[in-house]
A = this chain, B = another copy of it.
């Protein structure tokens, strides 16, 4: 089975054989976590770093009103909290959406990995891309209208999942309910439902039993004004292709 973490990191640049080996080591002690389960709760002090190997997780906050906002999707290859060592308490929660397999990596282990220059740089890149993605989500929710928000999110996931080898063509598993999608893009479940139907009617997507097909990638990207620059995937001269 492919190492999703290595896959992802090599989207930034190739890693030495030895580093890849090291990453394979780290990933051994995976554990299964059920869906809708907190990995860390707001207010807690994290000790280990969580790395997602399978499934979808998310960062989220719940307001006193009961409204929940999802602030990030964590997909295979993503770290949950790479350098929260410094902050004492979590200001948000992290929970699985689907069933996941997760690795807990100790602080010591992370520091050990960071001594490898190529890995350290790749970790940095991953953290910066996470932040850039967060910014794009703010743009999505703040500046795009409902239909394009959803479309944009689907485009982003296509690229992100593609870099870790979790797409087949223009199709991927989206193990998420419409209500969760709604909490992501700042809309109502009902409204998201209607939007999905419009996207289907427009021949842009197919979505049945958590299986998403993007029928016309170019048209969906154009429709949602999708500009992939914030994922910083194509910055190296040569792109490694071993995950596709």
| Interface set of A (CB-CB < 8 Å, partner B) | 43, 59, 61, 63-65, 67-69, 71, 83-84, 86-89, 91-92, 121, 124-125, 128, 131-132, 134-139, 141-144, 185-186, 225, 229-230, 232, 235
Known pairs A64-B225, A86-B124; list 16 more (Cβ under 8 Å). Answer: A59-B135, A61-B135, A63-B144, A65-B225, A71-B138, A86-B125, A87-B125, A87-B128, A88-B235, A91-B135, A91-B232, A92-B135, A131-B134, A138-B141, A141-B141, A142-B186
Given contacts A86-B121, A128-B84, contact A69 B142 (CB under 8 A): yes
**Copies per complex of this chain:** 2
Given contacts A84-B128, A134-B134, A232-B87, contact A141 B142 (CB under 8 A): yes
Sort A-B residue pairs by CB-CB distance and give the 10 closest, nearest first.
A142-B186, A69-B143, A91-B230, A88-B235, A141-B142, A69-B139, A67-B143, A69-B142, A71-B135, A138-B138
Find out whether the CB atom of B225 lies under 8 angstroms from the CB atom of A87.
no
- Our pick among B83, B87, B132, B137 for the contact of A138 (Cβ within 8 Å) is B137
How far does the alpha carbon of A186 sit from the alpha carbon of B225 in the complex, in Å? 17
CB distance from A13 to the nearest CB of B (A): 10
CB distance from A32 to the nearest CB of B (A): 28
Given contacts A131-B134, A134-B134, contact A139 B63 (CB under 8 A): yes
CB distance from A144 to the nearest CB of B (A): 7
